[in-house]
Structure 1
Amino acid sequence: MASMFEEEHYLIPPLSKYSFNFPNPRFASDEGLLAYGGDLSSTRLLLAYQKGIFPWFNEGDPILWWSPDPRLLLYPGKFKVRKSFRRVLRSGKFTVTFDKMFPEVIRHCATVHRAGQDHTWIVPEMQEAYIRLHEEGYAHSVEVYREGELVGGLYGLAMGKVFFGESMFSLASDASKVAFKALSDVLGAKGYDFIDCQMKTDHMVGLGAEVVPRDRYLDELHDALQKPSDLGSWQHFRWDYPYKEEEW
């Protein structure tokens, strides 16, 4: 499987299916590739996220594990709402739910067209792994509807007071942005420290996300993981605009 990979990345260690140890991400390159192989079991995935590591690979490649430097974080109170987006929120044309359609959200994220991409990294085994984590109460989705039809959403994992964002999709203008705003509002009210957006994109920076050094991220992650988790279904969470905290 990995002979060519080993030649190209000879300093990157393989992971055993019989051990859940990861290299220390503080010593990874800025690119952040730490290891390859292993599996996508719930135990390994949860341990990886607790260490600031996530899987990201293309179909046909070995599983690749990353912890890039710098990292992109959104602190819930710093979400930027521009005037045009405020009008969208006030229009009431979108409604939002949590954890009602997780499999549909991840499949939309895997299949929606993205500029400059001709394939998805959310391969079937990744979808199966995160659906399993959802069933176990760790992975969550936000769904956005227009006239009763699912038109946007996002998914990720929550542990402690951190939400690890994975992917979002939009079939209507502003739909994924509404999902992210709803998530930010609800998590802010529930005392979450930050949303981990992984790697820098201009879109996320425009919404208020900040680029921070990996060491700072790992320090903040450690502190946030000491706090209680919201394990289980989030279907009882409620959001509308302007957000009313007492509704969740």
Structure 2
Amino acid sequence: MSEIAELQAHFAECLLLADADPVELFQGDAELAAKRFALYRGNLTANWERSLGNACPVLQQLVGKEFFRALAREYGRAKPPREGDLNRFGAQFAEFLDDFTPIADYPYLPDMARLEWALHCAHYAPDARALDSTELARMGIADLDRLHLKPRAPFILLQSRWAIADLWQAHQADGPGWPDQLERTSCCIVCRPRWRAQLLCLSVGEFQALRMLDQGMTLGAALEAADAAESEFDAAAALPRWLQAGLFAAAG
């Protein structure tokens, strides 16, 4: 490693370690250099906090601003960003929370982070024309069972043992109240019918059908799987709902 590379590596290491002393990196007034370095380090962690807070506003509300600030700093030091785009900073946040013992009493937080990261990523997904009911109606009824519906990005299926979808909705403007029971299976999909990412709650049957379609199965096979997973699954109601949510890409 060259001398300049070693210097840069040491500089980065000092940034990530709160108690590191970077004085030997600088020439001149050591006290002034330390103050300037502290400002630089403070700006770095503030950027982490803002970036993560923008991606995970509900999680920030759940743990409180002060704890969230500390959490962002711990995450940034454990998983420092490897690219300049801070919109990607939270990509490993949920996995980090899985093993973060200070939140062990709140085991639903990692899945909340997964949900919010999916919504964040959905905002930046490329746009594509969605399949609508008119286009689907042009296909013969006999062909529907053999049809392969192509998922339209963003198409992010989430399943949790916790009621994360209800909990997320409870923190939205004019949303419902706090869920009565947190330890309840939650199935949902993050999509973007138009310009804004949305969270669509799913029944167990819907989740199973959409997972099968995402794996390349035919519509007929997916609906059979949904019927097996949920005795009251209603395909006649589910399919229009999926089309309205823009879940599938138009042909061509």
Bucket of the pairwise TM-score, normalised by the shorter protein: under 0.3
Structure showing the higher helix proportion among its residues: 2
Q: Normalised by the size of structure 2, how large is the TM-score? A: 0.27
Normalising by structure 1, we get a TM-score of: 0.27
Which structure has the higher relative contact order (CA within 8 Å, separation 6+)? 1
